[in-house]
């Protein structure tokens, strides 16, 4: 044959030959399937007549017969193709197939001599021609050979990853299921899902640098939102008592294995309730998510991605997270006393707090407020110990500018964070509804900003105006969906649970100009 042809050209030629035979795979619009691969394998009935469609992912040709595995994405099943059964045309089409093509087949179920549940194919309909050589691996006893392992390519061309890597596919699908499980749970609790602006004059509700963009119609510089909080509370001020939003927020900060510049926040607010109600709701929500996505409240997370995971059963390299029990509740300052060996009296003023920090071996140069020191101690000594679901309660006022003061200790707030596997999972509090208090907190933040903290909260007059109109007492909670997905899938990189993670563009040498 022509040796100058590229792999793509060869496939185009096969396409042309299919058309000469009277079958144009691109003209086919639909194919009625009776079963998925999983359904056939699980409810296997020898001799049953079926119709199935999927992608050809492996081939073994043997003269006038052959085997091919066909995957519908979820699972794959082997087809047995014989010239005698397919006829001249069918057999010719079979010989024009490439790995990666989609086909529709009809036939009946049988078991091969070597014991594999298979389809004895009677008709073959090519449904597509793949023009590229897909990096499909070979497989034996669950071990995959060759295949796609270049992480750069996996992230930039995610469709290839979804086709070729079952583990990657599984984690991404679990993430999608988590989001929809959250929605179902919130809807069932009578919450309304709302949508609030992404383009904002002042991006508030969190401590982060925003992205900037421009609004042409109003000739206005605007920012992309960094949280959902302030708008959602304005909805609470409007007497819609239970609201949530799941949506993308944007923070113009560093990229790392746990940080993506755009990520998905989930926040919910409920009038007439406080942080204890939020804890109860979070506990119940995780029972729901774990049950829907993993089928159990005992979720097994393994640090070894190749390990065969059985939910609810522990292993050497994994941990079983038990969402079935109430979460542990710890007072933040008590936890620091116990684990860092720093007494709460030492954290009463800045000087003694800095000394204590130095004593336990932490750098103190940048610390100029008590809240920052407390959070450093927490991060270093407490967080790593919080493996099973735990609520840490009582956060310092300096780092909690939207949380109600604790009446028993005005330096602390009515705020908690949930931790699992040593990582923060949610952040919640009884929301400030005193507009005077809130204004003072914002002003402290503005002062911080003046001192050079460019991530301090801006003052939001519209929000304060709404608070002055009157907000009922209210509990609120935020959960980073990406972090939650990482936690529950065992992903060690945030890109593993984002379909299309932000990547630096590859510079092309030659562009058409």
Nearer to RNA, 60 or 184 (CB): 60
Smallest gap from residue 89 Cβ to RNA (A): 15
Nearer to RNA, 153 or 350 (CB): 153
CA–CA separation, 263 and 259 (whole Å)? 8
Smallest gap from residue 379 Cβ to RNA (A): 8
Smallest gap from residue 296 Cβ to RNA (A): 25
Cα 168 to the chain's mean position, in Å? 12
Smallest gap from residue 80 Cβ to RNA (A): 6
Contact between 268 and 186 under an 8 Å Cβ cutoff? The reply is: yes
CA–CA separation, 184 and 388 (whole Å)? 25
Cα 427 to the chain's mean position, in Å? 18
467: closest CA among 231, 152, 127? 231
Smallest gap from residue 250 Cβ to RNA (A): 9
Taken in order 319, 325, 327, 328, the sign of the CA dihedral is: negative
Nearer to RNA, 453 or 468 (CB): 453
DSSP 126-159: E-----S-----EEETTEEES----HHHHHHTHH
Nearer to RNA, 30 or 140 (CB): 140
Residue given tokens 């609520």 in the structure block: 391
Smallest gap from residue 30 Cβ to RNA (A): 27
Nearer to RNA, 253 or 276 (CB): 253
Smallest gap from residue 171 Cβ to RNA (A): 14
Smallest gap from residue 95 Cβ to RNA (A): 8
CA–CA separation, 21 and 16 (whole Å)? 9
Nearer to RNA, 27 or 509 (CB): 509
Nearer to RNA, 271 or 496 (CB): 496
Residue given tokens 């804890």 in the structure block: 279
Smallest gap from residue 243 Cβ to RNA (A): 20
Residue given tokens 């949380």 in the structure block: 403
CA–CA separation, 57 and 103 (whole Å)? 11
Phi, psi of 243 (to 5 degrees): -135, 150
DSSP 279-333: HHHHHHHHHHHHHHHHSSSEEEEES-TTS---TT---TTEEEEE-SSPPEEEEHH
CB atoms within 10 A of CB 433: 18
Residue given tokens 């003209």 in the structure block: 27
Nearer to RNA, 450 or 506 (CB): 506
Smallest gap from residue 156 Cβ to RNA (A): 8
- Assign 242 to helix, strand or coil: strand
C-alpha distances in angstroms, 90 versus 49, 93, 104, 128, 179? 18, 5, 12, 15, 44
Nearer to RNA, 366 or 451 (CB): 366
Nearer to RNA, 22 or 505 (CB): 505
């Amino acid at each position: 044959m022509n040796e100058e042809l590229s792999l793509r050209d060869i496939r185009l030629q096969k396409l042309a030959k299919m058309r000469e035979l009277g079958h144009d795979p691109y003209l086919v619009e639909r194919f009625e399937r009776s079963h998925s691969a999983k359904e056939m394998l699980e409810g296997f009935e020898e001799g049953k007549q079926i119709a199935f469609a999927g992608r050809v992912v492996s081939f073994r040709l043997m003269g006038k017969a052959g085997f091919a595995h066909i995957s519908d994405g979820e699972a794959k099943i082997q087809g047995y193709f014989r010239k005698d059964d397919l006829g001249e045309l069918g057999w010719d089409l079979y010989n024009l197939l490439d790995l990666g093509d989609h086909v529709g087949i009809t036939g009946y179920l049988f078991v091969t001599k070597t014991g594999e549940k298979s389809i004895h194919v009677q008709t073959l309909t090519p449904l597509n021609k793949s023009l590229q050589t897909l990096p499909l691996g070979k497989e034996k006893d669950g071990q995959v050979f060759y295949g796609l392992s270049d992480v750069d390519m996996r992230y930039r061309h995610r469709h290839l990853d979804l086709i070729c890597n079952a583990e990657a596919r599984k984690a991404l699908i679990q993430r999608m299921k988590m989001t929809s499980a959250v929605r179902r749970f919130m809807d069932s609790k009578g919450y309304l899902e709302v949508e609030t602006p992404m383009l904002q004059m002042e991006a508030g509700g969190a401590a982060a640098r925003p992205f900037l963009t421009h609004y042409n119609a109003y000739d206005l510089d605007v920012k992309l939102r960094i949280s959902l909080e302030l708008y959602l509370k304005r909805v609470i001020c409007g007497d819609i008592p239970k609201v949530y939003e799941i949506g993308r927020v944007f923070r113009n900060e560093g990229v790392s294995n746990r940080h993506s510049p755009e990520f998905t926040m989930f926040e919910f607010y409920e009038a007439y309730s406080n942080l204890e109600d939020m804890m109860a709701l979070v506990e119940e929500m995780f029972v729901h998510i774990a049950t829907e996505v993993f089928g159990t409240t005992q979720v097994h997370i393994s640090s070894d991605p190749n390990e065969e995971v059985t939910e609810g059963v522990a292993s050497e390299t994994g941990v079983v997270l038990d969402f079935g029990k109430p979460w542990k509740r710890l007072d933040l300052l008590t936890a620091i006393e116990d684990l860092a060996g720093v007494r709460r009296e030492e954290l009463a003023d800045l000087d003694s707090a800095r000394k204590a920090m130095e004593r336990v071996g932490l750098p103190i140069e940048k610390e100029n407020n008590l809240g920052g020191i407390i959070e450093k101690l927490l991060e270093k000594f407490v967080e790593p110990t919080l493996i099973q679901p735990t609520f840490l309660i009582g956060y310092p006022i300096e780092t909690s500018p939207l949380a109600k003061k604790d009446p028993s200790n005005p330096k602390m707030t009515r705020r908690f964070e949930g931790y699992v596997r040593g990582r923060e999972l949610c952040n919640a509090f009884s929301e400030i509804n005193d507009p005077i208090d809130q204004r003072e907190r914002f002003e402290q933040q503005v002062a911080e900003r003046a001192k050079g903290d460019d991530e301090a909260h801006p003052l939001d007059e519209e929000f304060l105006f709404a608070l002055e109109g009157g907000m009922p007492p209210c509990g609120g909670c935020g959960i980073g969906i990406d972090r939650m997905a990482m936690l529950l899938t065992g992903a060690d990189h945030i890109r593993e649970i984002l379909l299309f993670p932000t990547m630096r563009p590859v510079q092309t040498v030659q562009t058409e100009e």
